[in-house]
Amino acid sequence: MHRGNAMLLAGTCAGAVVAMLVVAAAVRPPGPPAAAGSLRTTSPALTTSVATTATSAPPATGATTADPPDGAELAALVPGKLSVLVHDRKTGRDLVSYRPEATYTSASLVKLFIALEALRRGEPADEVAEMLSRSDDDVASRLWLRLGGPTIVTSWAARMGLTATRPPAEAGHWGSTLVSAADLVRVYRYLMDSAPAGTRQVVLRALDGATEHGADGFDQYFGIPAAVTATDWAVKQGWSCCDPGRNLHTSGLVGGRRYVVVVLTAQPASTGYATATERVTAVVKALSGPLGWA
């Protein structure tokens, strides 16, 4: 989400007065504007064990033999709160798992849920793709209101067997939806293994084509896009402040869509966006060499 949460009350939205909707922009540090969201080019309920340290499986074919970093090494890269989950779709194994069940405010990652519901209900595919690829908050707010708001989250959480995902406490604040790394891996597995072909095509085309800058100007190329040199990634990013900290998330598919990667962070609100995004990128870089994505 990058800029923020849709609010159902009269107020200002991106500097303009509107009657019944406010999109609250994320607080930014002084200096040049940070970049925003991006896009590029399982139905079964999945179980991911809660872990307090990173766990690893043998590297897949083509990967290096180095071990991925453990939980302590990953945590040292990000002051604040961190969760990491890397899932190998081919083997069905989690290669790295660090605090996968911890919850975070989703920022724009909730747009994955909005997109699934919008496509299920026959909303224009171009509008959905715009919301995902440019992380467009205005489109997200319109669809959130039109499609039922919090019920989007509850219905899809039930459909995909999500255990930690919860709708926002305030119905209009879509970016305050709670998610976990384990649940987001389940979302990507549903998309790849169980979603209707048309839905999968629209979403993947948008995630493949994630723009360098989001609709609000934020640089979306942090985390996966900045750390994975191969061009076959498909990502959905998230950023917001202060809910309560500076939330920076990177999620998506790498390695020919074989691996699902989710890195969620809640860093101190005093951290600048440039530093916060560099830390997320450092986590993915620490994984990409040992796991063979570099």
CATH, residue 96: 3.40.710.10
Q: Tell me which amino acid residue 21 is.
A: L
Distance CA 222, CA 80 (A): 18
Domain count across the chain: 1
What is the model's pLDDT at position 43? 31
What is the model's pLDDT at position 249? 98
What is the model's pLDDT at position 17? 29
**Positive or negative: CA dihedral 168, 112, 77, 273:** negative
pTM value is 0.80
What is the model's pLDDT at position 293? 83
Q: Residues with Cβ < 8 Å from 201, sequence gap 6 or more? A: none
Residue 279's φ and ψ, nearest 5 degrees, are -65, -40
- Residue pair 75/82 in contact (Cβ under 8 Å)? The answer is yes
Residue numbers of the domain that contains 287 = 5-291
Cis peptide before 290 (omega within 30 of 0): no
CA-nearest of 134, 132, 87 to 112 is: 132
Query: Which mean pLDDT values do the consecutive 10-residue runs of the chain (294 residues) have?
Result: 37 32 34 33 34 42 67 96 98 97 98 98 98 98 98 98 98 97 98 98 98 97 92 93 92 96 97 97 95 82
What is the model's pLDDT at position 66? 78
